[in-house]
């Protein structure tokens, strides 16, 4: 009975956000699926939005400030009565954009919290004042890090145009965060790379960048190497390097200058590994050869530089 009451309360809140016509459409989609009928594309979108809304409603740290047919503005507070909650606007549902999937990964499943917990167990007194977020997407990771390290300076690199626009908008919603951003891809040298959507489900979070194979500059983006990135950020040292670069880590981890940067400038690294391009064991071996203590945490290879 309590679950039914909670469900009805959540449905009522959803109705207040999206209105009666959409709610009636949702109930029709639910009944259609329950009776074994195939959901139409519109019904699938309605069901995806409803599932995501329920996930927000079940998490005491989340508040759906605005919820419409194509966007959701969410406030996240790391702790009750937190002084620095963060606000993000997401494109929804996930069949339209990967925003909600990234949000779930970071804020609902807590993957970066697991990373930070491991760092704290190895380096409990480690100060985090400068963070490089490479492959920042729409800013979820950067804003999550802000809830944990409110005084830290952060610099985000994001090449995909739609993500970059959403990243800029989300940072504008959180003016207290000391976060700057630049539109480019990370690579082994400066130049231009071509954007391809041939990886996994092909959404924005899986956009990857490869070297141009001809003179065609269409769908290309600027690229910077890691030393140039540190110069753009004005960071002489990096306390935490977070990377989610959709396979480019395979190229970077074999680049001499990138490895020198890891050795000389970085204290901690959290790198999402895409096994289609490089294996977890190989990634771990490379970091350990550079003097890092490592641990695989969820989808990440994490390392603490033992020489710093």
| Total domains present in the chain | 2
Q: How confident is the model at residue 209 (pLDDT cuts 50, 70, 90)?
A: low
State how far the Cα of 9 lies from the Cα of 35, in Å rounded to an integer.
Answer: 24
Q: How confident is the model at residue 69 (pLDDT cuts 50, 70, 90)?
A: confident
Q: What is the mean pLDDT of the chain?
A: 90
Domain assignment of residue 38, given as a range: 1-58
- Mean pLDDT (whole number) for 24-40: 88
Asked if residue 199 and residue 51 are part of one domain, the reply reads: no
Tokens encoding 243 = 């990377």
3-state class (DSSP) for residue 296: strand
**What torsion do the CA atoms of 188, 226, 272, 71 make, to the nearest 10 degrees?**
-110
Boundary-marking domain end, from 41, 58, 75: 58
The CATH number that applies at residue 213 is 3.40.50.150
Q: What is the pLDDT, as a whole number, of residue 218?
A: 63
**What torsion do the CA atoms of 3, 7, 12, 16 make, to the nearest 10 degrees?**
130
Which range of 11-20, 116-125, 129-138 scores highest in mean pLDDT? It is: 129-138
pLDDT of 200 over the 60 cut: no
pLDDT of 80 over the 90 cut: no
Asked if residue 121 and residue 36 are part of one domain, the reply reads: no
- Mean pLDDT (whole number) for 36-58: 90
Q: What is the pLDDT, as a whole number, of residue 23?
A: 92
Residue 250 lies in a domain: yes
In tens, the pLDDT along 95-132 reads 888 899 999 999 999 999 999 999 999 988 778 999 99
Asked if residue 251 and residue 115 are part of one domain, the reply reads: yes
Q: How confident is the model at residue 208 (pLDDT cuts 50, 70, 90)?
A: low
Q: What is the pLDDT, as a whole number, of residue 217?
A: 59
Asked if residue 192 and residue 257 are part of one domain, the reply reads: yes
For residue 114, CA distances in Å to 21, 121, 126, 205, 272 come to 41, 11, 16, 21, 13
pLDDT of 256 over the 70 cut: yes
Asked if residue 115 and residue 52 are part of one domain, the reply reads: no
pLDDT > 70: what percent of the chain?
Answer: 90
Residue 265 lies in a domain: yes
- Mean pLDDT (whole number) for 27-56: 90
pLDDT of 193 over the 90 cut: no
Q: What is the pLDDT, as a whole number, of residue 37?
A: 86
Q: What is the pLDDT, as a whole number, of residue 81?
A: 62
Q: What is the pLDDT, as a whole number, of residue 258?
A: 98
pLDDT > 90: what percent of the chain?
Answer: 69
What is the DSSP track for 243-264?
A: E--TTTHHHHTT-HHHHHHHHH
Asked if residue 132 and residue 5 are part of one domain, the reply reads: no
Asked if residue 186 and residue 117 are part of one domain, the reply reads: yes
Q: How confident is the model at residue 289 (pLDDT cuts 50, 70, 90)?
A: very high
pLDDT of 63 over the 70 cut: yes
pLDDT of 277 over the 70 cut: yes
Asked if residue 158 and residue 24 are part of one domain, the reply reads: no
Q: Are 227 and 237 in contact (CB under 8 A)?
A: no
Whether the full predicted model's pTM is greater than 0.85, yes or no, is yes
């Amino acid at each position: 009975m309590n679950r039914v009451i909670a469900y009805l309360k959540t449905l009522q809140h959803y109705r207040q956000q999206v209105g009666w016509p959409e709610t009636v459409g949702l109930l029709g989609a639910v009944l259609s699926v329950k009776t074994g009928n195939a959901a139409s594309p519109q019904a699938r979108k309605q069901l995806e939005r409803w599932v995501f809304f329920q996930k927000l409603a079940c998490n005491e740290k989340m508040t759906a400030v605005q919820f419409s047919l194509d966007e959701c503005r969410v406030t996240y507070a790391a702790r009750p009565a937190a002084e620095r909650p963060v606000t993000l606007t997401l494109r929804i549902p996930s069949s339209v954009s990967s925003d909600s999937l990234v949000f779930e990964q970071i804020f609902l499943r807590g993957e970066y919290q697991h990373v930070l917990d491991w760092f704290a167990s190895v380096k409990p007194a480690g100060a985090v004042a400068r963070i490089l977020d490479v492959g920042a997407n729409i800013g979820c990771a950067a804003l999550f890090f802000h809830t944990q390290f409110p005084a830290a300076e952060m610099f985000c690199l994001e090449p995909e145009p739609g993500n970059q626009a959403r990243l800029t908008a989300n940072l504008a919603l959180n003016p207290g965060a000391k976060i700057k951003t630049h539109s480019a891809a990370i690579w082994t040298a400066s130049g231009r790379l071509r954007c391809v959507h041939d990886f996994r489900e092909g959404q924005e979070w899986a956009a990857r960048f490869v070297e141009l194979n001809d003179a065609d500059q269409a769908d290309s983006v600027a690229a910077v190497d890691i030393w140039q990135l540190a110069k753009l950020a004005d960071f002489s040292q990096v306390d935490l390097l977070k990377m989610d670069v959709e396979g480019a880590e395979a190229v970077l981890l074999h680049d001499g200058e990138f490895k020198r940067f890891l050795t000389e400038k970085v204290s901690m690294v959290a790198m999402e590994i895409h096994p289609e391009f490089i294996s977890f064991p190989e990634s771990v071996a490379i970091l350990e050869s550079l003097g890092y203590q490592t641990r695989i945490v969820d989808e990440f290879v994490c390392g603490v530089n033992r020489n710093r």
